């Protein structure tokens, strides 16, 4: 739109309007500092009150002209006005964008609050359901407590039995380790004795003992490794290289694996039983709390009934009337 038309100025020939009057008109149209007010659409947002528009301002005309205003000055003023209008339009666009973002955040916040409220309602419903499960009939409460105590006693007895079995297995493993230590010491002494005999014999005579001597050397080294190395503490022996010991190795390994498996199973069973005992104890504590609460309620009701009877006994006529 032509700025000259906006300003309501007349350009006649080469003459221009009065410069002072035109400056007043221009200052009147320059954008003022934005005034912020509460939005009627969204009270949480502020919008820019731009004030009256150009259409609401009465045009002012002046027939005075000044020959000093040139077309170049008019173009500069037009460019300045266009720049100001562009800046104000950008401000309006930025405010509109911020308003949309604020509305979006508000809607997201509202949705989150709604979701949290729904989740809380679900949790409350679940808690009410769990509470209903623990509410027992007063007549069934002693039976339930007795049953739980019986189960607790059985679990404690089973736990003690399993602990005894585990202790026995640990002692057996320690004894087997001790036996192998003794065997190793005995074989080492035998090995030293054979070495002394072989050294005293002639080469021909020593060949007779050499095979058994070498076998004994290997066996002593293996046993020392089993009893000294931590990674072989579970007696995972390796005697495949000695055929005469394969049967012994298989038997020892089978027995140890069986004992190790039993020990692990017993440990797992003890862990489960301990968890069950803890759960049963928790239930017993809850039932005892309910029992105490019921006893308190019964005592309170007994007191109220006793007070009511005393009051009625003191007012015999009213009591007879109520009884009839």
Domain borders along the chain are 3-126, 141-307
SS3 state at 15? strand
Predicted pLDDT at 134? 64
Lowest-confidence pick of 69-73, 259-263, 319-323: 319-323
Say if residue 229's pLDDT is above 70: no
Which tens digit of pLDDT belongs to each residue from 85-121? 888 888 988 888 988 888 888 889 888 888 988 888 8
Say if residue 16's pLDDT is above 50: no
CB–CB of 220/188 below 8 Å?
A: yes
CB–CB of 216/191 below 8 Å?
A: yes
Alpha helices, DSSP H, located in 135-202: 141-200
- The residue that leads in pLDDT, 280 or 130, is 280
SS3 state at 176? helix
CB–CB of 227/180 below 8 Å?
A: yes
Say if residue 281's pLDDT is above 80: yes
How many Cα atoms sit within 13 Å of 56 on the Cβ side? 4
- pTM of this prediction? 0.25
Instruction: Place 280 in a pLDDT band, splitting at 50, 70 and 90.
Output: confident
% of the chain at pLDDT higher than 90:
0
Residue count of the chain = 324
CB–CB of 284/145 below 8 Å?
A: yes
Which tens digit of pLDDT belongs to each residue from 30-68? 445 455 555 554 455 555 554 444 444 444 444 444 455
Highest mean pLDDT among 115-124, 181-190, 224-233: 115-124
């Amino acid at each position: 739109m032509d700025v000259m038309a906006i300003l309501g100025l007349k350009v006649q020939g080469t003459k221009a309007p009065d410069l002072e009057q035109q400056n007043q008109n221009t200052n009147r149209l320059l954008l003022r500092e934005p005034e912020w007010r509460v939005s009627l659409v969204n009270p949480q947002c502020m919008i820019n009150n731009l004030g009256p528009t150009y259409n609401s301002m009465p045009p002012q005309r002046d027939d005075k002209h000044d020959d000093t205003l040139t077309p170049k000055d008019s173009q500069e003023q037009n460019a300045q006005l266009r720049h100001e209008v562009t800046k104000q339009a950008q401000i309006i666009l930025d405010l509109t964008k911020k308003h949309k973002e604020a509305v979006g955040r508000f809607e997201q916040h509202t949705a989150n609050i709604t979701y949290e409220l729904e989740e809380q309602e679900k949790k409350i419903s679940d808690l009410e359901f769990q509470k209903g499960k623990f509410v027992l009939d007063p007549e069934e409460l002693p039976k339930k407590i007795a049953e739980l105590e019986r189960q607790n006693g059985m679990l404690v007895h089973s736990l003690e039995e399993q602990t005894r079995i585990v202790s026995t297995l640990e002692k057996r493993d320690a004894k087997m380790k001790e036996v192998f230590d003794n065997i190793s010491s005995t074989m080492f002494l035998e090995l030293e004795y054979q070495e002394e005999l072989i050294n005293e014999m002639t080469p021909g005579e020593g060949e007779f003992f050499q095979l058994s001597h070498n076998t004994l050397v290997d066996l002593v080294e293996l046993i020392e490794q089993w009893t000294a190395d931590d990674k072989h503490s579970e007696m995972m022996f390796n005697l495949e290289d000695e055929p005469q010991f394969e049967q012994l190795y298989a038997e020892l390994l089978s027995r140890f694996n069986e004992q190790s498996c039993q020990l692990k199973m017993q440990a797992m069973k003890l862990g489960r039983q301990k968890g069950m005992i803890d759960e049963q104890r928790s239930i017993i504590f809850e039932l005892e709390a309910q029992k105490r609460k019921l006893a308190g309620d019964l005592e309170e009701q007994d007191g109220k009934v006793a007070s009511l009877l005393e009051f009625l006994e003191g007012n015999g006529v009213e009591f007879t009337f109520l009884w009839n």
